Amino acid sequence: MIAEAVDRGLRAFEERVANPRTVKQAARMLKKLVGRGMDADLVREIQRLRLQRVMAYVYRRSPFYRQQFDVYGVRPRDVRDLADLQWFPFTTSNDIRDWRQFLCVPEDEVSAVFTTSGSTGEPKRVFYTWREMQMLTNLAAASLRVGHPGRLWALIALPIGHGLWMGAAMAARAVERAGGLPIPVGAGSPAETLRWMQRFEPNVVMSSPSYMTALTREAERQGYQARLEAILLGGEMLTAAHKRYFQEYWGAQVFDAYGSTEIGGAQTIALPECIAFNLNDLHLVTEIVDPSSGVPADEGELVFTTLTREAMPLVRYRSGDRARWADCPCWLPFRSIRLLGRIDDMLVAGDMNLYGQVIAERIAQVPGATGRVELVLDKVGLTDRLRVRVEGGDVNANVVRQALYDAYPELPTNVQNGNLFLEVETGVDLGDQIKALKIVDQRITNG
């Protein structure tokens, strides 16, 4: 069977410690394979084989999913095809806070842990085995080499912080595995980052749209303009205006990616010519469901089932991201989506995850505030702007700003670096606002 042979071949590469030469060979072979017959039907058959395998695995290994199978009267053999997943319950972000119920390997076999951005309390932990880390590194490295086979000196201008964020860590590993030179300088002062660019003259930059905007503006201010071959972005929504700005100033091809720690990092890609994100259907089963009813929909919440995970596989994980199905004319044989923002109160702005309810709760404690808050997100040029409108006649704007800084200690740095414009307006009348919190994201409709 062709699907089984291709699946075995893919796993042979995924599960080894590949050296840079092997990665380059795999990238060339992958591109040839896609061009010579890895069509959507073959991808779907590989998905089906891997889905059957992972469902049997979590039934044996995961306390959480074993209980879910038993409660709902489902067995691994009942999931024969992708459509059969709809009979299985969803997994939520609150579920995985009890990570021990999801861990499918002994704790002494865990090799890496990354944390996700949470609204309150402890961040969610996601664990990986050594084999998984090799697989993810191999895949990311091969993806880099598919589009960029030559010199690869990559400036990684992504937040480093406490070191448990997956983005920056995986970027450095992938560049190294691909035989390139990672230059992880973080996302601090744009002027300092520009000095690192001048020292090392990278031909690739890996960053977020917000920070790349701040970096490009600093380059304009200084009159510095070096030609880049590729800019790889992720972490937040990339608008067409951002893409044109980076292409025109740096003369670079711009790649975009979407993912999360829960699903294994960046698991989608938008090539320079793409109009949507292409899903990694070889490692994920992706659904879009109505957020209220949970039934399949053309537009709604993204739901993921991981197909090759070992430490913490997830079945029907509700991402909280809103998307719709799309058609992308590129050469990749995968399904495509357009991202539309969040379904909950998380705001991705200025290279940060901010939660509306957390902001509202902090502002409610400010003297004079009535408790009603409106958050308006838009753009000034290419930079995100957050306007915080607070009801209450005697509210001090500086006290509100400090309350936000206390809630998000990294916020002052992002404001200072030009990643985000923050405006506080007090004394406004929100009498027509039914709920205490209202969020208006004008970037979705105007971007």
State the CATH number of the domain containing residue 239: 3.40.50.12780
The pLDDT score that the predictor gives to residue 239 is 84
Model confidence at 445: pLDDT above 70: no
Contacts of 305 (CB under 8 A, 6+ apart): 51, 54, 85, 284, 285, 287, 314, 315, 316, 317
Least confident of 5-19, 123-137, 223-237, 295-309: 5-19
Distance, CA of 269 to CA of 108 (rounded, Å):
33
Whether residue 157 is found in the same domain as residue 257? yes
CATH number at residue 403: 3.30.300
Model confidence at 242: pLDDT above 50: yes
Least confident of 82-91, 117-126, 346-355: 117-126
Whether residue 411 is found in the same domain as residue 277? no
Model confidence at 281: pLDDT above 90: yes
Whether residue 42 is found in the same domain as residue 13? yes
Instruction: Please check whether residue 175 is in contact with residue 154, taking contact to mean a CB–CB distance below 8 angstroms.
Output: yes
Q: What percent of the chain has pLDDT over 70?
A: 96
Model confidence at 447: pLDDT above 60: no
The pLDDT score that the predictor gives to residue 161 is 59
Whether residue 276 is found in the same domain as residue 396? no
Mean pLDDT, residues 381-405 taken together? 93
The pLDDT score that the predictor gives to residue 187 is 85
Computed on alpha carbons and rounded to an integer, the radius of gyration of the chain in Å comes to: 22
The pLDDT score that the predictor gives to residue 119 is 45
Mean pLDDT, residues 52-67 taken together? 96
Distance, CA of 205 to CA of 225 (rounded, Å):
14
Whether residue 191 is found in the same domain as residue 320? yes
Model confidence at 118: pLDDT above 60: no
Label residue 445 exposed, middle or buried (CB < 10 Å: 0-12, 13-18, 19+): exposed
Kindly report whether the global pTM for this prediction surpasses the value 0.95.
Answer: no
For all residues of the chain together, what is the average pLDDT? 89
Q: What percent of the chain has pLDDT over 90?
A: 58
Under the banding of pLDDT at 50, 70 and 90, the label for residue 15 is confident
Least confident of 25-34, 87-96, 108-117, 231-240: 25-34
Whether residue 318 is found in the same domain as residue 382? no
pLDDT in tens, 121-147: 567 899 999 999 999 999 999 989 987
Whether residue 337 is found in the same domain as residue 350? no
Whether residue 405 is found in the same domain as residue 288? no
The pLDDT score that the predictor gives to residue 36 is 64
Model confidence at 234: pLDDT above 60: yes
Whether residue 85 is found in the same domain as residue 206? yes
Domain span at residue 233 reads 1-342
Whether residue 81 is found in the same domain as residue 147? yes
Mean pLDDT, residues 316-339 taken together? 93
Angle at 418 between CA 413 and CA 422, to 5 degrees: 80
Give residue for tokens 């901010």.
354
Among 342, 376, 391, the domain boundary falls at: 342
Among 342, 369, 384, the domain boundary falls at: 342
Among 294, 324, 342, the domain boundary falls at: 342
Give residue for tokens 């309350």.
403
The pLDDT score that the predictor gives to residue 148 is 82
